[in-house]
Structure 1
Amino acid sequence: MKALYSLLAACTLMLAACSDNKPVELYNNKAALPSSPKYNLDGLKVITSFVNKTKGTASTLYGNDLALKAAIEGNKIIAAKEVFTLVTWKQQDDDHWFGAKIPSDVESVEVIKTASSGNNVAVNYEQLEGRNLDLKTDTSGQAERIKYILGQKPSVLP
């Protein structure tokens, strides 16, 4: 019986000594947003977040106080001075939690700003792409993206 315990202890020590010698990062620096004058998250609050498993992306929708209030109340009418910012990251496997996914490189930042234009409300949409957040000049599909972003329901918080 003593030999069995000794063998079990030796096997346990051998398995514990196994390592892939891969340095582990404690912080996910890849997902950090670069500081840029092209967008500003200061003062914005999280409205909702979601994952697209098909595309392998994770997104967070931020908004100013007016945008958050409109989202919570379910207003279908766009008001002036609302700011919505949708940040989308690619996903990667989490080294610290088997089977989990975490954000990786920034894929895009979409900014919607509304302004009063006489009796109407003007909607300005910009899409910044890639790590350098270059302005996307292709304007096709903007109406669908605006409708999609404004149609997001806010997360329910206690």
Structure 2
Amino acid sequence: MKALYSLFAVCSLMFAACSDNKPVELYNTKAALPSSPKYNLDGLKVITSFVNKTKGTASTLYGNDQALKSAIDGNKTVGTNEVFTLVTWKQQDDDHWFGAKIPSDIESVEVIKTTSSGNSVAVNYQQLNGKSLDLKADTSGQSERIKYILGQKPSVLP
């Protein structure tokens, strides 16, 4: 009987040793933003975040104090010295939580800066694409993107 228990223990240890344990990353380094002089998130606050399930992306809109105040007021008028930065990531499955999605590789960074130009306000839009943050040269559709970004409602925080 003692031999049977010993054999059972040895077989259990062998089965436990045959598992497929792949190393799991504790931190999502894939979604980290590269440092670049093309954009700057220092001092910006989160205005809102959202997910596009059809495209499989997650986005966060950041802004400086003037942009945050303008977003809270509903962006009725564009003021000077506002900076909006929309960062969009592709999504991937979360290894730690079944069914959850987390950000993956960076897809784009869109930056809107407003400056005063005489009596009017000039709006500068840039779109940086991919991990290398290449400047998108195609300027078609910029006005729609500006309208879309400025139309985002801020998250309600307690």
TM-score by length of 2: 0.89
Equivalent positions of 1:34-113 (< 5 A) are 34-113=34-113
C-alpha distance in 2 between matches for 1:60 and 1:19 = 39
User: Which segment is superposed worse, 16-25 or 43-52?
Assistant: 16-25
In structure 2, the partner of 1:119 is 119
Is the Cα contact below 8 Å between 2:62 and 2:85 reproduced in 1? Answer: yes
Is the Cα contact below 8 Å between 2:128 and 2:135 reproduced in 1? Answer: yes
Query: After TM superposition, where is structure 1 displaced by more than 3 Å over at least 4 residues in a row?
Result: 16-19
Specify every segment of 5 or more residues in structure 1 that has no aligned partner in the other structure, as ranges: 1-9
- RMSD over aligned Cα atoms: 1.7
Identity rate of aligned residues, in percent? 86
C-alpha distance in 2 between matches for 1:60 and 1:77 = 22
Superposed CA deviations along residues 2-37 of structure 1, whole A, max 9, x for unmatched, are: xxxxxxxx9xx78x9474321100000000000000
Could you tell me which amino acid in structure 2 is paired with residue 128 of structure 1? L
C-alpha distance in 2 between matches for 1:49 and 1:19 = 39
In structure 2, the partner of 1:132 is 132
In structure 2, the partner of 1:28 is 28
1:44 shift after superposition = 0.1
C-alpha distance in 1 between matches for 2:47 and 2:137 = 27
Specify every segment of 5 or more residues in structure 2 that has no aligned partner in the other structure, as ranges: 1-8
TM-score by length of 1: 0.89
Could you tell me which amino acid in structure 2 is paired with residue 129 of structure 1? N
Is the Cα contact below 8 Å between 2:90 and 2:106 reproduced in 1? Answer: yes
Could you tell me which amino acid in structure 2 is paired with residue 150 of structure 1? L
C-alpha distance in 1 between matches for 2:53 and 2:96 = 20
1:39 shift after superposition = 0.1
- CA radius of gyration, larger in: 2
Number of aligned residue pairs: give it. Answer: 147
Could you tell me which amino acid in structure 2 is paired with residue 46 of structure 1? V
Could you tell me which amino acid in structure 2 is paired with residue 56 of structure 1? G
Report the 3-state secondary structure (helix = DSSP H, G, I; strand = E; otherwise coil) of the residue aligned with 1:60: strand
